[in-house]
Structure 1
Amino acid sequence: MTGRAGPGVRVLVVEDSAVVRHVLARLIRDDPRLELVEAVETAEEALRLVPLLRPDVISMDVRLPGMDGLEATRRIMAECPTPIVIVSDSSTDPALRISMNALRSGALSVVQKPAGWPVDAAGGRAIATQLYIMSQVPVIRHRLHYGAVGPAVEAPPPPRLRPRLIGMAASTGGPQAFSHVMGALPAGFPWPILLVQHMGAGFMEGFAAWLDTQTRLSVGLARQGDVMRPGHVYVAPAEAHLTLGAGDEIRLNHAPPVGGQRPSANALFASMARVGAGAIGVLLTGMGEDGAVGLRDMRRAGGYTIAEDRSTAIVHGMPGAAERIGAVSISLPLEQIAPHLVAIASAVPRLPLAAGMEGRRP
């Protein structure tokens, strides 16, 4: 099944279901940004074609006859590095922990497989956009290449900055960005981190488990009433807003999406604004504008806010929106964010969490 000739991003589809293969081919053909170069049903056929066709991006299923999509991803990233988006049904085999294994194998993102045709407009556009955006990401042997790291440029923290917790958020390109930042933080990092990542509902547990392997900090899904502990990362679970409670405990709620997102970066940052200078907000790569208004709330309340600079953001939508409305204290390239946080931790006297909470086990 070959696609039309054209100037679009060249996509190879690997999917054993004839129905889903047809749906994905139709989505790609209907999007002027994309060009379908081939659609195949086995990993073995994909491995044969990748060096011949040199696609710009691959849509990869996980459950394939013979070699599975995770092994195919590992082989492709080792032999002929190509951006790979896992398009999978998260409900077919929860034990597979698709997102953790896919990201570990070298995939750039994980999206929910369409159930059939017609696909709703938003779902089809989301898959096509993921393929288009991820095709732009240079990959080298299983690793993202963010460009040469220049000399560290560290702005001094604001003189009245007294942080006690950090909130971070991202969307498209977030898993790799979080891995880059978290992997550079030391084991003794003194503050808890609340984290929002836009990702399909079935993939969040696997994402948190994967991120835990990328850092010396302890990473897990946030739970209602968790008392935050230094050096722990609390990931917003699927379909729940992650917010900071009045006693600095974790609060989860299932209120309607904010700006189309649940979990919402705006909801997280807005809840952190009440602690003023006790909070740092970090907004990384992502489509749309989620997080911009909440980050502005934090900054107006005295918090310190960091946005990923355009030079490294895979998609500068979210951090760019925050910059435009004056929500950002400083914009930094991705490789400078962790060193900057460590410098703040070294220079600023540490305040405990709410009285009597630090050190308690959730």
Structure 2
Amino acid sequence: MTGTSLGKAIRVLIVEDAPTHGGPLTRGLQRDGDIAVFGQTSTGAAAIGLVSRENPDVIILGLSTSDGSGQYFIEQVMAYTPTPILVLSSRIADRHSPSAVDALVAGALDALPVPGCWSTELETQLRHTVRQISKVQAIRHPRGGLAKIPRADTPKPGSGRQAVVALAASTGGPKALATVLAGLRGLNAPVLVVQHLHPDFTGGLFDWMARASALPVEIATHNTVARPGRVYLAPGRVHLRLAANLRLELATTPVMIHQPSADELFRSVAEQAGSAGVGVIMTGMGHDGANGLLEIHRQRGQTLGQDQASCAVFGMPQAAQRLGALTSLLPPEQLAAAILRAVSLVRA
């Protein structure tokens, strides 16, 4: 399959994760003459390589299976060859469908349902969408750094030491957290996050972290098993703790100024993970987290903090530093690499 000289036409590559008949789609796209489909292929390494070689203006991804191959394709393209992607799927009812949301979080620009047949009106709408997204400057998306489709197995109790990373932040935290999470590509440990924030803003924080993170992000739920390579955000008004066998625990007690509390998270990681715990305290007012981080330190776990120069407020890291709870202080751009090193030492 080779590219062709198409002048100023919008060059479209059709990629499908399962064999289908793309003839009607191709004809509908090319009807006005300003859109040209130069190739059609299936998802996989070859398709990712084709995108890199041909540099299409728009990719139309036919997403029809639930095996994660389409999601993986989006993540890889947006990590290494950012290109506007429009997802068409029989599994999508509208832009709010779970599959559509997953595609958009991975980096696709839009996601639409596949009709039973392409009417003149639907073809017109499709061409309009392709023209619009072809004008968008696609930006690099970090999640594609994952080495494989993110389907981590549930950890088995007693199968060896599993590193657990705990991050806590307050004032100025979301921006710093986004920087750290973007750098955790390939991390082989679950990441538990406490951010002091009004509960009404938890959804916005999730959306931001999901876009920025190199790992899949979810809101923590009670009794879920924390899986390596995933990020779990504490919901509002409840504490997030690590329980036995890597299970997550949400609790409303003890009643504290900060719920969720960094101290509660760090203490539970110290108790359950011991020397395999990695605690990171970041920008924020007050001293929440300092005592809990000290407990991780006493268990010979790794403890890191955000440095003063990069903090909006140095209160929380400074409190931990004064207790002697910190191994080192680093800016967010370096904390991710330090976390990866700390986890690799646990797994060695």
Q: Secondary structure at the match of 1:311?
A: helix
Task: Report the equivalent of 2:266.
Answer: 269
CA contact (8 A) 1:292 1:319 kept: yes
- 2:251 and 2:343 map into 1 onto residues whose CA distance is 31
Q: In 2 relative to 1, CA 180–321 (structure 1 residues): closer, same or farther, beyond 3 Å? A: same
Task: Report the equivalent of 1:175.
Answer: 174
CA contact (8 A) 2:302 2:342 kept: no
Task: Report the equivalent of 1:255.
Answer: 253
- Which AA in structure 2 matches 1:282? V
Task: Report the equivalent of 1:223.
Answer: 221
- Which AA in structure 2 matches 1:261? H
- 2:300 and 2:309 map into 1 onto residues whose CA distance is 27
Matches within 5 A, 1:22-33: none
Structure 1 runs not aligned, ≥5 long:
1-94, 96-161, 352-362
Q: In 2 relative to 1, CA 194–250 (structure 1 residues): closer, same or farther, beyond 3 Å? A: same
- 1:340 and 1:305 map into 2 onto residues whose CA distance is 10
Return the offset for 1:168: 0.3
Tell me the matched-pair count: 189
Return the offset for 1:206: 2.3
- 2:200 and 2:173 map into 1 onto residues whose CA distance is 17
CA contact (8 A) 2:163 2:343 kept: no
Matches within 5 A, 1:126-275: 164-186=163-185, 188-258=186-256, 260-274=257-271, 275=273
CA contact (8 A) 2:189 2:228 kept: yes
- 2:184 and 2:305 map into 1 onto residues whose CA distance is 17
Deviations 1:144-178 (A, max 9, x none): xxxxxxxxxxxxxxxxxx76110000000000000
TM-score by length of 1: 0.50
- 2:211 and 2:192 map into 1 onto residues whose CA distance is 17
- Which AA in structure 2 matches 1:272? V
CA contact (8 A) 1:164 1:279 kept: yes
Return the offset for 1:332: 1.4
- Check if 1:298 corresponds to 2:296: yes
Q: Secondary structure at the match of 1:294?
A: helix
Return the offset for 1:342: 2.3
Structure 2 runs not aligned, ≥5 long:
1-95, 97-160
**What is the aligned-residue identity percentage?**
40
Return the offset for 1:203: 1.2
Return the offset for 1:340: 1.5
Matches within 5 A, 1:301-316: 301-316=299-314
Return the offset for 1:244: 0.5
Q: Secondary structure at the match of 2:288?
A: coil
- Which AA in structure 2 matches 1:269? F
Return the offset for 1:277: 0.6
Q: In 2 relative to 1, CA 174–349 (structure 1 residues): closer, same or farther, beyond 3 Å? A: closer
Deviations 1:27-47 (A, max 9, x none): xxxxxxxxxxxxxxxxxxxxx
Return the offset for 1:269: 0.3
CA contact (8 A) 2:239 2:253 kept: yes
- 2:307 and 2:200 map into 1 onto residues whose CA distance is 30
- 1:198 and 1:349 map into 2 onto residues whose CA distance is 28
Deviations 1:85-143 (A, max 9, x none): xxxxxxxxxx9xxxxxxxxxxxxxxxxxxxxxxxxxxxxxxxxxxxxxxxxxxxxxxxx
- 2:242 and 2:213 map into 1 onto residues whose CA distance is 23
- 1:278 and 1:257 map into 2 onto residues whose CA distance is 28
CA contact (8 A) 2:163 2:346 kept: no
Return the offset for 1:226: 0.8
Matches within 5 A, 1:87-106: none
Task: Report the equivalent of 1:43.
Answer: none
Return the offset for 1:199: 0.5
CA contact (8 A) 1:193 1:231 kept: yes
CA contact (8 A) 1:257 1:263 kept: no
- 2:278 and 2:231 map into 1 onto residues whose CA distance is 14
Task: Report the equivalent of 1:279.
Answer: 277
- 2:302 and 2:338 map into 1 onto residues whose CA distance is 12
Task: Report the equivalent of 1:356.
Answer: none
Task: Report the equivalent of 2:340.
Answer: 342
CA contact (8 A) 1:163 1:280 kept: no
CA contact (8 A) 1:163 1:277 kept: no
Q: Secondary structure at the match of 1:247?
A: helix
- 2:342 and 2:300 map into 1 onto residues whose CA distance is 15
Higher Cα Rg: structure 1 or 2?
Answer: 2
Q: Secondary structure at the match of 2:225?
A: coil
CA contact (8 A) 1:291 1:322 kept: yes
